[in-house]
Chain A
Amino acid sequence: MTMSDKTRTLKSVTEKNLGILGHNVLNTINGLGKFTNYLTSVCYWAFKPPYRWHLFTQQMYFIANKSLFIICLVSVFSGAVFAYQTYLGFQGLGFDSFIGPVVAISLAKELAPVLSGLVIAGRCGAAMAANIGTMKVTEQVDALEVMGINSHQYLAVPRIAAAIISMPILSSIFLLVGNVGSWLIGVKVLRIDEMTYLQKIPEFMGMDDIFEGLIKATVFGFLIAVIGTFHGFEVKGGAEGVGRGTNLAVVWGMVIVLIVDFFLTSFLAVIL
């Protein structure tokens, strides 16, 4: 291979890779553009009549009511294991009685909204993408549009509204049940004095901790539902496309919850 051949090969490989990179960048920008358009459309249609309360109630039932069991299950074990780890960490330092507030505050500010968010992204974000995606590939979305019904208004708005309302409720339940798990470990298993355990919680935890968690949960609910429904509408090409859309909805839902959590924490630390 001569020198110029090598250069040429190198050049063509570079060009090819740059091409792929450029393609990816364009795709990402294109995707962000689509998402922004979608977000605008959803916000616009959310405030236009008719308000379809029956669809909202249906979605509330699906998101809040049907997720209750799994939220309780996750929260009781999270609270319990967190209490135990805290105990192990503090062991010998004589801080055992602080388990109550440490767990309660962590649950209120982080664990309840984030873990509820992850559970709901997996359960409901996925279901939203699968439902809408299936309707897309079987032309049910077109059928709505042909009848003169805006599919974003009919399909996305009730789901997003229900997620916004459900998430703080679920997160509060997570907080409550998580503390029960912690109490079981702390008081019943590790034999911390019950009076001390209970007294310390309100001493250290304030309303602002609970409030922070509620704000986060609300924001996560909104994001999970917007991402879930968006990936539903983006589905193309049959059952395989529905699978891909569902997968994207879960992955992005979870990633966004964790990323936004970081920024929200920093932001709320300043304003609360």
Chain B
Amino acid sequence: MSHDEFAMEFIDMTKTFGEHTVLNHLNFKIHRGKITTILGFSGAGKSTLLKHILGLLFPTHGKAIVLGEDLSHLRELELREFRKKFGMLFQYAALFDSMTTFENIAFPLREFTKMSEAEIKQKVEDLMESVGLAEHATYRLPSELSGGMRKRVGLARALALEPEIMLYDEPTTGLDPITTKMVNDLIKSTSERNKAKKMTSVIISHDIDATLKISDYVAFLEKGQVVEHLPTEEFRKSQNPIIRRFLEL
């Protein structure tokens, strides 16, 4: 498989927890450099799939090949190294609550690079600007930030190491309409800005409107399988009854 065209590929992948099959012979490829949204009802296995991308879980059967690597062949330390190619924005941002905005964004730089304090400062300022964070937020703690600002900090932190793949877990669930729009614009602009580097974005969501606005591809997960995977325009017109039901919800 050329990992030029596809950032990841799942081949006949099954995941069972005890007796419970969550992913069921799933076959699915994600295009490199594009935004792909994985839709599905709650409990469909979206988060489980996301964990397979990161090598936090491994298939019971079949393969998960990410950026050309079969993750089940990597050893623990290689896997940790591999995860540096990812950035992830968590649903509630998952900022370290004992650290200021600056420290949160600088965290991966301090852990994984040999940058000097001056370089780190410059980089954090650049990142803050790119996600639209005002300077006055620099030395605030997460508890002193609004939900929208926290998402921006989380995104800046995820982008710090210039990831090849950005993952978004339910980025707009539970947000008000204005913040939702802001987060969606942010996902779009982040992807645009990193187009040259072919950064791949994978969004997990059940927010249909946003999905149709910002994604290049949409996949629909149902009963552990991808039942539809189409460019957004075609997905909108899909006649698959499950998807019509979801779209008309």
Contact = CB atoms under 8 A, between A and B. Distances in A.
- Tell me, yes or no, whether A binds B: yes
Given A139-B91, A139-B92, A145 B56 contact: yes
A180 to B, nearest CB: 36
B111 interface: yes
A150 B90 contact: no
Contact of B56 (A134, A140, A146): A146
Given A139-B92, A140-B94, A140-B97, A149 B111 contact: yes
B90 A143 contact: yes
Contact of B80 (A134, A138, A140, A150): A150
Contact of B90 (A134, A142, A148, A149): A142
A270 interface: no
Contacts of A3: none
Interface stretch (B81-89, B126-134, B189-197, B199-207): B81-89
A131 to B, nearest CB: 8
Contacts of B88: 143, 146
A85 B90 CA distance: 59
Contact of B84 (A139, A140, A148): A148
Interface string A123-161: 000000000001100111011011111100000000000
Nearest to B50: A146
Interface in B77-108: 79-84, 86, 88, 90-92, 94-97, 107-108
A71 B160 CA distance: 43
A138 B98 CA distance: 13
B90 A139 contact: yes
B111 to A, nearest CB: 6
A147 B96 contact: no
Interface in A99-144: 134-135, 138-140, 142-143
Contacts of A135: 96-97
A32 to B, nearest CB: 20
Contacts of A146: 54, 56, 83, 86, 88
B108 A138 contact: no
Given A146-B86, A147-B83, A140 B96 contact: yes
Interface residues of B, number: 21
Contact of B97 (A134, A145, A148, A150): A134
B200 to A, nearest CB: 16
Best-buried of A138, A148, A149 by chain B (most CB within 10 Å): A148
B147 to A, nearest CB: 13
Best-buried of B82, B86, B90 by chain A (most CB within 10 Å): B90
Contacts of A139: 90-92, 94
A192 B198 CA distance: 84
A149 B81 CA distance: 9
Contacts of A143: 88, 90, 94, 96
B14 to A, nearest CB: 23
B108 A147 contact: yes
Contacts of B107: 147
Contacts of A150: 80
Interface of B: 54, 56, 79-84, 86, 88, 90-92, 94-97, 107-108, 111-112
The 4 A-B residue pairs with the shortest CB-CB distance in the complex, in nearest-first order? A148-B80, A148-B83, A139-B94, A143-B94
26 contacts: A138-B92, A138-B97, A139-B92, A140-B94, A140-B95, A140-B97, A142-B56, A142-B90, A142-B94, A143-B88, A143-B90, A143-B94, A143-B96, A146-B54, A146-B56, A146-B83, A146-B88, A147-B84, A147-B107, A147-B108, A147-B111, A147-B112, A148-B81, A148-B84, A149-B80, A149-B111
